[in-house]
C-alpha cells in the first residue's frame, strides 16, 4: 500500500511513497514533483460517463492524475490548489462524502463516484455540491485538503453537530446530513432567514449519527469575498 506523509505545517505538501507497480489517483494539476521512476498520466477515473458526471456536478476535474511507480519504487509530491491543511483519512470498507474541492489524492483501490445528495435541503442550501456530491468508498487511504486548518468534530451521542456549510470538508457514511437556514429548531422559513441575517451564520449543516466531521477554519465564500473587497476597482 502507498505511504502518505504530510510534510510541513503551513501550506504543506503531500508526499506519496510508492512501491513498484503501485498507483495513486490525484486531482488534476496536483503533482508538484516526482521521481523519474514514476509515470504520470491523465485518465477519466471510472470511465467517461462517470468522469463527465463528476466534473459537471461537483466541480472536480474530468481527468484525474494517475501516478504509477512503473520503473521502480518512487516518491511524488502533491500540492493543493489553495492554501491550507492536508489530512489523510483511513477507509476500511466504508465511504466518505466530500464537499467541492476537498479531494486531493487517494489510493487506486478506492472507488470515486458522484452520488445524489439525499438531503433536499442540502441540495438547495448546503453548499456541498448541490444535488450531487463526491463519494469515495472502499478500503485504502484518502487525502483531503481544505482552506485553512482542519479540525475533527465528533457528533454528540444522541444529539446533533451543527456546522456552517462553508466550513465542512467531509463526513463518513455513519453520519446523516441535513441543512437549515439557522441553528434554531423552531420558526418558519421567514423567521429562519431573519435569524440567519442577524447572526451572520448563513446556512448550517446538521449532522446526526456517529463519526467525526472534518471542519475547515476558513470558509471559501467568505475568503473569496474578503479578497474581492480588497481588490481596487477599475473605475
Q: Which of 77-91, 121-135, 221-235 has the lowest mean pLDDT?
A: 121-135
From 183, 207, 178, select the one nearest 195 (Cα to Cα). Answer: 183
Residue 129 in this model has a pLDDT that exceeds 80 = no
Rg value, the chain, Cα: 19
Average pLDDT score over residue span 156-173: 94
* Spans of all domains in the chain: 3-229
Alpha-carbon span 44 to 224, nearest angstrom:
30
Determine the pLDDT at residue 52. Answer: 47
* Side-chain half-sphere CA neighbours of 14 within 13 A: 32
Extended beta strands in the chain, E state: 3-7, 13-18, 23-26, 31-34, 38-43, 64-69, 74-78, 86-98, 103-107, 111-116, 132-145, 150-154, 161-164, 168-172, 175-180, 204-209, 212-216
Average pLDDT score over residue span 49-60: 45
Determine the pLDDT at residue 232. Answer: 84
Q: Specify the higher pLDDT residue, 21 or 178.
A: 21
* Residue 41 CB coordination number (10 Å): 12
The SS3 call for residue 225 is helix
Residue 6 in this model has a pLDDT that exceeds 80 = yes
Q: Specify the higher pLDDT residue, 46 or 32.
A: 32
In this prediction, residue 37 has a pLDDT band, given cuts at 50, 70 and 90, of very high
Architecture of the domain delimited by 3-229 = 4-Layer Sandwich (3.60)
Residue 17 in this model has a pLDDT that exceeds 50 = yes
Average pLDDT score over residue span 37-41: 96
Q: Which of 56-70, 103-117, 181-195 has the lowest mean pLDDT?
A: 181-195
Burial class (CB in 10 A: 0-12, 13-18, 19+), 62: middle
In this prediction, residue 124 has a pLDDT band, given cuts at 50, 70 and 90, of very low
Residue 123 in this model has a pLDDT that exceeds 50 = no
Pairing type for strands 132-145 and 150-154 reads unpaired
Q: Which of 41-50, 90-99, 186-195 has the lowest mean pLDDT?
A: 186-195
pTM: 0.79
Amino acid at each position: 500500500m502507498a505511504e502518505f506523509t504530510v510534510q510541513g505545517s503551513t501550506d504543506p505538501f503531500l508526499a506519496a511513497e510508492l512501491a513498484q507497480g503501485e498507483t495513486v489517483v490525484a486531482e488534476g494539476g496536483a503533482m508538484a514533483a516526482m521521481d523519474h521512476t514514476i509515470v504520470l498520466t491523465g485518465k477519466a477515473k471510472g470511465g467517461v460517463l462517470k468522469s463527465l458526471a463528476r466534473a459537471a456536478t461537483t466541480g472536480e476535474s474530468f481527468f484525474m492524475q494517475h501516478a504509477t511507480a512503473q520503473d521502480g519504487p518512487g516518491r511524488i509530491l502533491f500540492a493543493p490548489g489553495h492554501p491550507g491543511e492536508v489530512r489523510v483519512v483511513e477507509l476500511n470498507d466504508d465511504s466518505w462524502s466530500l464537499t467541492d474541492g476537498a479531494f486531493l489524492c487517494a489510493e487506486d483501490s478506492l472507488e470515486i463516484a458522484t452520488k445524489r445528495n439525499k438531503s433536499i435541503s442540502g441540495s438547495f442550501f448546503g453548499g456541498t455540491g448541490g444535488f450531487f456530491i463526491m463519494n469515495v468508498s472502499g478500503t485504502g487511504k484518502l487525502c483531503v485538503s481544505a482552506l485553512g486548518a482542519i479540525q475533527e468534530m465528533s457528533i454528540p451521542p444522541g444529539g446533533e453537530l451543527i456546522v456552517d456549510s462553508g466550513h465542512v470538508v467531509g463526513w463518513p457514511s455513519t453520519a446523516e446530513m441535513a441543512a437549515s437556514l439557522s441553528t434554531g429548531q423552531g420558526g418558519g422559513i421567514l423567521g429562519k432567514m431573519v435569524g440567519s441575517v442577524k447572526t451572520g451564520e448563513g446556512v448550517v449543516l446538521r449532522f446526526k449519527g456517529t463519526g467525526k466531521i472534518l471542519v475547515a477554519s476558513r470558509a471559501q465564500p467568505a475568503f473569496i469575498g474578503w479578497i474581492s473587497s480588497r481588490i481596487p476597482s477599475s473605475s
